[in-house]
Structure 1
Amino acid sequence: MDSAQVDAYLRRLGAVRPASPTSEALRELHLRHLRAVPFENLSIHLGEEIVLEEGRLLEKVTTARRGGFCYELNGAFGTLLAALGYEVELLAGRVYGDEERLGIPYDHLALRVRTADGATWLADVGFGAHSHHPLALEEGVEQKDPGGTFRVRAAGPDAAGVTGGGRAGAGDLDVLRNGSPQYRLETRPRALGDFAAGAWWHSTSPLSHFTRSLVCSRITEDGGRITLGGRTLTTTAADGTRGTRELETDEEVLKVYRERFGIELSRVPTVRNPDQGS
């Protein structure tokens, strides 16, 4: 990642280059990313190829001014952080689903980030509704965040989800939000290419919720959230107050993508697997 690419990425975030890779700077970059770069799965429904290569991910975020899902967002953000001097490792996760069953291997990509001030953080700008700020990678500590109360715990053999995907590996961690497990992380570092099979499955399988529904979502400047799910626009204030409305025309949908998410589309995406739900 060259200096021009770094500058382009920071412009997308509305951020300045930090003087040093500190925890404070990471916290600001993390929040700005969640505000500026939407969590979205539009490529799946537009027939666009998802390629887990740093150059392609950076082009999508900076030049095309798009978002993505976990592999793309955390893959790109990790590349930026490394270029800014942070020590970054990619971690593989498995997401908890119905009845706290675990998803497929390489179900999720998150980042372990070490800073110049000696701290170690879990950074995740690709999980939809999650923490607004990085989480300290400290087991058992409750962490208050605008997105909820989070805790990282060791994933022992008696942890929830064992029946959904086998026993926890040595050193695995569960990330909990408001007491509910969100995903299980391996602590062994991975390469971006390791996630290609997971990205392919999620973008093609009729069993993946990503192929059955459209989503585009980001945190708003006041700490709330705006989400366009298909044609349903949902706005949630920081205090939890929620409002929804249905968009009647394609023109309305394209306008919301453009004005509320900064995404220019020539046509409205069509759900890839409509027979499986929308």
Structure 2
Amino acid sequence: MNNSDFDSYLTKVGLTSKPALTEEGLKALHNAQHRRIPFENFDIALGKSISLSDEDLINKLIHKERGGYCFELNGLLLKTLKATGFDTRALLGRVHLAGEPTGRSHQVSVVNLDEQLWIVDAGFGSHTPRSPLPLVTDKELSTDIQTFRFIETEQFGYMLQVKLPDDNEGLIWQSLYSLDMTNVYDADKSYGNFYVSNHPKSLFVTSRIAAFPIENGIVTIFNNTMKKVVNGITEEMVLEENESYLETLRTQFGIKLEASFSDLKPLVTD
């Protein structure tokens, strides 16, 4: 990332200067991007390929009113972390939300700061950590409205879990993704990115998805359902299959598609 692109990034996310190489600076950088650039997969819904080139990431996520998913959002964040001066590299994780683990299809960054490792993730949809998380095990880690923990497993390495309410009005630990800390190369990212954006059983191919954090909550879209959760209270509405759908993307998520509603691929139905 050159100086001009770095300055454009800071302007995009609302920062007036380069963050300090401290815990506070790391959190400020993550917070700025996470609260400004939404999670979304609408290029796939428009039948477009997902490019991870520097030029395309910067054009889409900085210069346009668009978002992306993990390979894009965390790809851009990794470049910015490096340009800021943080000691960082990419990791790929297996997603465990459905129980059966996926391949290594989720990209995050690990930052080494004062001999403490931090997992930095701005691209995991509705369960995106709202702050960088120190990589320590068996300890509750809180953001403003979330509680996480890492546990260490023999089979998968470090497992990130989030505390969620269950059907019996109790709380459970839901496994999100696992990290084995192995080196990641551009080819690994290309493999994962191609699978999740092209495989007919990939959630990103079969569904329309968006998530955007707000004060004390989050707004999400899954196909035709929009949910707004604030202070644990959920409001839900069904979106119509017309141009008003795109207006909702613009007003609620800051996503401006250069397309008409009819350009979106039809939703996959059983």
TM value normalised by structure 2: 0.89
What is the match of residue 186 of structure 2? Answer: 192
In 2, the alpha carbon distance for the partners of 1:183 and 1:148 equals 16
Query: How high is the sequence identity, in percent, across the aligned residues?
Result: 29
* 1:76–1:136 CA distance, 2 compared to 1 (3 A): same
Secondary structure, aligned partner of 2:148: strand
Q: Is residue 40–residue 217 contact of structure 1 (8 Å, CA) maintained in 2?
A: yes
Kindly tell me the number of residue pairs found equivalent between the two proteins.
258
| CA positional deviation for 1:249 | 5.4
In the alignment, structure 1 segments of 5+ residues that lack a partner are 157-166
In 2, the alpha carbon distance for the partners of 1:243 and 1:59 equals 34
In 1, the alpha carbon distance for the partners of 2:200 and 2:241 equals 27
What is the match of residue 163 of structure 1? Answer: none
In 2, the alpha carbon distance for the partners of 1:194 and 1:244 equals 38
Q: Which has the higher strand share?
A: 2
Deviating beyond 4 angstroms after TM superposition, the runs of 4 or more aligned structure 1 residues are none
Q: Is residue 23–residue 119 contact of structure 1 (8 Å, CA) maintained in 2?
A: no
What is the match of residue 110 of structure 2? Answer: 112
| CA positional deviation for 1:147 | 4.4
One of 138, 147, 150 as aligned partner of 2:148:
150
One of 243, 249, 264 as aligned partner of 2:235:
243
Q: Is residue 19–residue 84 contact of structure 2 (8 Å, CA) maintained in 1?
A: no
What is the match of residue 26 of structure 2? Answer: 26
Cα deviations across residues 211-256 of structure 1 (Å, max 9, x unaligned)? 1110111101x1211112233221111x111111223352321212
TM value normalised by structure 1: 0.86
What is the alpha-carbon root mean square deviation over aligned residues?
1.8
Letter paired with 2:221? L
Secondary structure, aligned partner of 2:189: helix
What is the match of residue 169 of structure 2? Answer: none
Secondary structure, aligned partner of 1:65: coil
In 2, the alpha carbon distance for the partners of 1:253 and 1:245 equals 12
| CA positional deviation for 1:119 | 3.3
In the alignment, structure 2 segments of 5+ residues that lack a partner are 164-172
| CA positional deviation for 1:258 | 1.7
One of 203, 220, 223 as aligned partner of 2:216:
223
Cα deviations across residues 47-87 of structure 1 (Å, max 9, x unaligned)? 22212222321221111231111111101100011001111
Q: Is residue 174–residue 182 contact of structure 1 (8 Å, CA) maintained in 2?
A: yes
| CA positional deviation for 1:101 | 1.4
In 1, the alpha carbon distance for the partners of 2:266 and 2:83 equals 36
Q: Does 1:267 align with 2:264?
A: no
Secondary structure, aligned partner of 2:35: helix
| CA positional deviation for 1:31 | 1.8
In 1, the alpha carbon distance for the partners of 2:132 and 2:6 equals 20
What is the match of residue 5 of structure 1? Answer: 5
More deviation in 202-211 or 187-196?
Answer: 187-196
